[in-house]
Chain A
Amino acid sequence: MQRHLISAADLTRDDAVLILDTAEEMARVADRPIKKLPTLRGRTIVNLFFEDSTRTRISFEAAEKRLSADVINFTAKGSSVSKGESLKDTAQTLEAMGVDAVVIRHGASGAPYRLANSGWIDAAVINAGDGTHQHPTQALLDAFTMRRRLIGRDAGLGQDLSGKRITIVGDVLHSRVARSNVDLLHTLGAEVTLVAPPTLVPVGVGTWPCEVSYDLDSVLPKSDAVMMLRVQRERMNAAFFPTEREYSRRYGLDGERMAKMPGHAIVMHPGPMVRGMEITAEVADSDRCTVVEQVANGVSIRMAVLYLLLGGNEPAVTNARTNEEK
């Protein structure tokens, strides 16, 4: 494992499987009456959020607290981010406070990379989503969810996603979730197909390790998991698609379309969902939809990442359990 987690592309297959396996151990902790491990006691983690995302911040915060870390929330939204110095200044402030890790969410692609590589700060940097670039813990929790559902909780241990066919549908162009998932799923041996109107696929996608299709109906029967991406209504004002209705008709997932998927196939969504746009309420509320599980799995994955980046070589759960039982 590297010191930082900036991009899903930085993870090897073995790194990724280790994180997924560790997350399964962490998930067991959540099933216990006392959900806390002493692993990161005395370590300070800052959640540095330059962009609003209560869901992601709460998920990291829960993970950090379950590992007994000291948590500082720093929400810099609204400060003069556009001026640029604020990232460096903030980083140096945190450095002076002696933080061990920075979980950063930023509207500018590359901001976590800069934070990790500019000599501004010594702490480990974990990317919690940067612009339209990457969101590696989201990809990890998605892979974790797929492995559990498609292979099994115990059967999945030590396994990757070889041969699984994953379809990602929606605004690929503006999606860090799509980029992270393509990278990670490819590393884990899955076959990825992106489905979107051509306007929402980046020029240059040809080098990505995936297929691209403009026809959702033809891809659904060959999918083990279908991940619907959020599509912002405002995109139609920039002519990415004509109307909301036309988008839903061509690329939205409704009950009729879901019926074309194999019986075992799941529907995923990174949230927040735009019901009626990319997904109907019927699909969102069906038991094939893993949205709620994904949220729970997010905490386990983030615990695993924090533990592996900060916890050193000692085993997390076994050791901790002994300590706890003492």
Chain B
Amino acid sequence: MSKILIRGAKVLGGEPQDVLIDGEVIEAVGTGLSAEGAEVVEAAGKVLLPGLVDLHTHLREPGREDSETVLTGTRAAASGGYTAVFAMANTFPVADTAGVVEQVYRLGQEHGYCDVQPIGAVTVGLEGRKLAELGAMHESAAGVTVFSDDGKCVDDAVIMRRALEYVKAFGGVVAQHAQEPRLTEGAQMNEGIVSAELGLGGWPAVAEESIIARDVLLAEHVGSRVHICHLSTAGSVEIVRWAKSRGIAVTAEVTPHHLLLTDELVRTYNPVYKVNPPLRTERDVHALREALADGTIDIVATDHAPHPHEDKDCEWAAAAMGMVGLETALSVVQETMVDTGLLDWAGVADRMSVKPAQIGQATGHGRPVSAGEPANLTLVDTEYRGQVDPAGFASRSRNTPYQGRELPGRVTHTWLRGKATLVDGKLT
């Protein structure tokens, strides 16, 4: 592989520097580096970040290839600046055995757009009753370290306790989709002022908060770490803040859409805004932004959830829950966190690359942009503003809530171990 010189990029938003890639690694970072023998990428004015890492992606393969495949999903990831994604286990069949996680892992390797790290199910069939063979998935070629029944909550306190304890043997972590099932039967949207008017079944904040409260206490009791998926309420922020102050090993993620959108949008009854957990209120949005800024929430994770057109082109109650997010995540974070002054680009690198790589133990990702490190890099034109056009998505699905919305920032280049997966906004 030849050399690449990224010239004059603002590394983590700092002073312009040159970054020289040789093969799979960063050879040098500095000013006035020689371009001899290297392909030059002019990056003046652009921001260079470590390749983004998504701890929460639904790639849908195996089983729902009509909405996404490992290939289309990893192309979407590369397009959004990601070099590693964690693929959720709610596939058909469920990723609850070594066989399924190895299949997904190998597909990611073959396609080469983005590292795919499968997440293993906590319980067999995501049914919440019997632990899946967590050790076997860890020991498989996929080397699973993150376990989640995402889409379903591990609501049985004993099963959750055992899972938290069990994965300590190999340094794993359980990622909880916090949703008390009885409190959310028939839930269609956030329970509050808007649901009362629209007559849609309410998904109360307490259904999330009560599970998080229980799980941080369980984690403390058994001395395990726990990760909270897509935290969505101001109350959840308070609980996680309290848990961290007590020294409990909890980490938490927030999705881009929960940083930007509110349940007021549901007044359109357009299912493109139907997502789980649901869009919350303005007050929640502000609490989430502040928590991401002060580190109470550790990371941004997309919960990229592709669905075919027909699953959204219907009445609200019949529609599937979820939004695609890989190709708009960084723009939404720029809009909500950077352009508002809450986070600088080094902070973005931390929340979207360094920390998610640490939580998921994604080796070689989320590393400093410095000599000797793997060349997993993302170059962003932060001056760009434009309307989101789903027709241009690499994802197989188009269920974005941002269609036609103007957002800042555009990923122009992505390198996975020195190999360009995205050049001038085009996939290789």
Q: Which residues of A contact B (CB under 8 A)?
A: 81-85, 87-88, 106-111, 113-114, 117-118, 130-134, 176, 179, 202-208
Contact = CB atoms under 8 A, between A and B. Distances in A.
A202 B314 CA distance: 26
A132 B310 contact: no
Contacts of B270: 114
B394 to A, nearest CB: 26
Contact of A202 (B196, B269, B319): B196
B193 A108 contact: no
A205 B315 contact: no
Given A114-B269, A204-B193, A84 B319 contact: yes
Nearest to A131: B199
B33 interface: no
Interface string B290-318: 00000000000000000000110111111
Contact of A204 (B192, B269, B311, B317): B192
A108 B318 contact: yes
B199 A179 contact: yes
Contact of A203 (B192, B311, B315, B318): B192
B196 A208 contact: yes
B54 to A, nearest CB: 29
Nearest to B316: A110
B200 A110 contact: yes
A118 B316 CA distance: 12
Given A110-B269, A114-B269, A204-B191, A87 B196 contact: no
Given A108-B315, A114-B316, A132 B191 contact: no
Contact of B191 (A117, A118, A203): A203
A232 to B, nearest CB: 15
Contacts of A114: 269-270, 314-316
A305 B191 CA distance: 33
A304 B318 CA distance: 33
Contacts of A88: 313-314
Contacts, number: 87
B383 interface: no
Interface residues of B, number: 25
A109 B188 CA distance: 10
B401 to A, nearest CB: 16
B374 to A, nearest CB: 45
Given A108-B315, A204-B196, A207-B197, 19 more contacts: A81-B318, A84-B310, A84-B314, A85-B314, A87-B318, A106-B315, A109-B188, A109-B200, A110-B316, A111-B316, A111-B317, A113-B269, A131-B199, A133-B199, A176-B199, A202-B202, A203-B191, A203-B204, A204-B202
A202 B315 contact: no
Interface of B: 188, 191-200, 202, 204, 268-270, 310-311, 313-319
B210 to A, nearest CB: 15
Given A113-B269, A203-B192, A85 B315 contact: no
Given A204-B191, A204-B193, A84 B315 contact: yes
* Best-buried of B188, B202, B314 by chain A (most CB within 10 Å): B314
B198 A133 contact: yes
Contacts of A203: 191-192, 195-196, 202, 204
B201 to A, nearest CB: 8
Given A85-B314, A203-B204, A207-B193, A110 B198 contact: yes
A82 B318 contact: yes
Nearest to B188: A109
B199 A109 contact: yes
7 contacts: A84-B310, A84-B311, A84-B313, A107-B317, A110-B317, A111-B315, A114-B315
B194 A108 contact: no
B250 to A, nearest CB: 28
Contacts of A133: 198-200
A206 B316 CA distance: 25
Nearest to A83: B318
A87 B166 CA distance: 48
Nearest to A130: B199
Nearest to A80: B318
Contacts of B310: 84-85
Nearest to B266: A110
Given A84-B310, A85-B310, A110 B197 contact: no
Contact of A132 (B193, B199, B204, B268): B199
7 A-B pairs with the lowest CB-CB distances in the bound complex, closest first: A84-B318, A84-B314, A204-B196, A110-B269, A133-B199, A132-B199, A108-B317
Contacts of A132: 199-200
B316 to A, nearest CB: 5
A109 B196 contact: no
Contact of B199 (A87, A117, A118, A134): A134
B315 A204 contact: no
Contacts of B313: 84-85, 88, 118
Contacts of A206: 193
A205 B199 contact: no
A281 B310 CA distance: 49
B265 to A, nearest CB: 13
B134 to A, nearest CB: 35
Contacts of A84: 310-311, 313-315, 318-319
Contacts of B194: 204
A179 B194 CA distance: 12
* Best-buried of A83, A113, A176 by chain B (most CB within 10 Å): A113
Contacts of B195: 202-204
Given A110-B269, A113-B269, A114-B269, A205 B196 contact: yes
A84 B194 CA distance: 23
A176 B199 CA distance: 7
B280 to A, nearest CB: 13
A179 B197 contact: yes
